[in-house]
Chain A
């Protein structure tokens, strides 16, 4: 028992400072005001692009269900970009830019806890953006989202599962980064870009070709997106998933997240082992 307590304490000793360090690295390049503006402008501009596209494409008001689904989907996608891309970038940044990954690695706690801590910092910055986006949508764009009617338990359960899946995937890509120069960064961008396309964040997966819909059904983030929207609005956005009950969607999300997590851990530890055998842990590629 004492051994487990000591392990947990050690893990916390890596996790907590990593979270703090991640926050510092992501935010300490400027003062709080500039950081807030920066954190606000980037996602807001991204959201406004789809808002203007919506207005140009439909020539209707933003007080529609389609708009609400599109806007919130786009907002929650922020988490995927931040966590999946951010976690793999940590390896590259700490290895080649700050040249300190070797010191983390030779510490008493596994690198895994350090990466999780850094993911929390990415999660916090993304949360700030998403909250601002939803608030701005509600206040200025007539977003049809009523907190009183939200199924909070369902929403939070789905939300946490999706974040777990994103973290697992980020971990797998961090592993890939350990054995490559910088190519895993591209893999992260491709993976998150593919999710943006096929998981229905912007539009229902019904408009995708059949093979696209088939791919979407294998990805946890399709169910994450659907479950979040069901939690927030009482119904989802995809006709292709309309026959599934809320419980079915949650079950699929749970199962696919579990599979994703197991595969991600295997990929991460496999890549880490390979990196150690080949002496790549502290490689400097200048790439």
Chain B
């Protein structure tokens, strides 16, 4: 008597392929449902929680206005207003990656969801994909409103010659950013309150190194080169060049930045999968998966 992986007895003694295929299909379906279920909360949440909507739209407007007025008080060229607007757009995604991707498993553990994810017949990667999709949707809706309002208020004009290039670079940047967020989410599994502090720490320093409000080449060659390890830097620099039709403000040619974003995107996605497996196991062995209030 032989048993398949699912415990089914077979007459031939060989694995029951039909059964395996059905199990595989069921696994896919479960993971798809889990991903969509996790994304759904964020998609539907776009118009459900007014306070979050107001915060996400109006709070960035304050910092946009503050930095625009700062440039104006210095007598800087008006094009710099646009840098600030573009920076606010990408900052929204970075914040979403930090707080709603990387630190999310920490919150999920605090409120008891994490153990349910681990018990369910799904891969935690499905949850991460769902979080990413939902996060991108949610952030896009709100950031679009912020950027539109900011552009109208401050009269910013973008000079886009290649819309396909802008959209392509933008999507590639999102893949890299959210890949990084998925990898970081796994790391945060083993942290307690440090997750909070880490996310806090990765705000201003990353804004600085990525040149969110100014051309990154202003940081000097070596610092700017090192900053290219952060996908936000490459994405911002490429988008700035494409949106204002001025390659002279860029640190690297756009095609190099596209290549860099592609490599980082692939590495972070594979890294997320590997890190999740390793750190999930570590967290289980150390008994941290359900550990609260640390």
Interface residues as binary, B190-202 with A (CB distance below 8 Å gives 1, 0 otherwise): 0011100100110
Interface centre among B62, B63, B218 (most CB of A within 10 A): B62
B16 within 8 A of partner (CB): no
Within 8 A of A (CB), among B97-121: 110-111
B76 within 8 A of partner (CB): yes
B158 within 8 A of partner (CB): no
B208 near A45 with CB under 8 A, answer yes
B197 near A38 with CB under 8 A, answer yes
In the complex, the chain A residue whose C-beta lies closest to that of B218 is: A56
B54 near A186 with CB under 8 A, answer yes
With A45-B207, A56-B218 already in contact, the answer to whether A207 and B62 are too (CB < 8 A) is no
B21 within 8 A of partner (CB): no
A45 near B205 with CB under 8 A, answer yes
Chain B contacts for A70, CB-based, 8 A: 70
In the complex, the chain A residue whose C-beta lies closest to that of B74 is: A57
Chain B contacts for A52, CB-based, 8 A: 208, 214, 218-219
A202 near B66 with CB under 8 A, answer yes
A29 within 8 A of partner (CB): yes
B99 to chain A, nearest CB (A): 12
A233 within 8 A of partner (CB): no
In the complex, the chain B residue whose C-beta lies closest to that of A284 is: B111
A186 near B52 with CB under 8 A, answer yes
A190 near B71 with CB under 8 A, answer no
A175 to chain B, nearest CB (A): 17
A197 within 8 A of partner (CB): yes
B260 within 8 A of partner (CB): no
A4 within 8 A of partner (CB): no
Number of interface residues of B (CB under 8 A): 40
B51 near A183 with CB under 8 A, answer yes
- Please report whether the interface of chain B is mostly helix, strand, loop or mixed according to DSSP: helix
A207 near B59 with CB under 8 A, answer no
B55 near A189 with CB under 8 A, answer yes
B12 within 8 A of partner (CB): no
Chain B contacts for A196, CB-based, 8 A: 62-63, 66
In the complex, the chain B residue whose C-beta lies closest to that of A41 is: B205
**Neighbour of A29 across the interface among B63, B197, B214, CB < 8 A:** B197
What's the Cα separation between A232 and B114 when bound, in Å? Answer: 52
B227 within 8 A of partner (CB): no
Interface residues as binary, A200-219 with B (CB distance below 8 Å gives 1, 0 otherwise): 00111001100000000000
**Neighbour of A45 across the interface among B52, B204, B214, CB < 8 A:** B204
Instruction: List 10 A-B pairs, Cβ < 8 Å.
Output: A45-B208, A52-B214, A56-B214, A190-B58, A190-B59, A193-B59, A193-B66, A196-B62, A197-B66, A286-B111
Q: Which residues of A contact B (CB under 8 A)?
A: 29-30, 38, 41-43, 45-46, 48-50, 52-58, 66, 70, 97-98, 183, 186, 189-190, 193-194, 196-197, 202-204, 207-208, 286
Q: Which residues of B contact A (CB under 8 A)?
A: 51-52, 54-55, 58-59, 62-63, 65-67, 69-76, 80, 110-111, 192-194, 197, 200-201, 203-205, 207-208, 212-215, 218-219, 293
The 6 closest A-B pairs by CB, nearest first: A57-B76, A193-B62, A203-B73, A45-B204, A57-B74, A45-B205
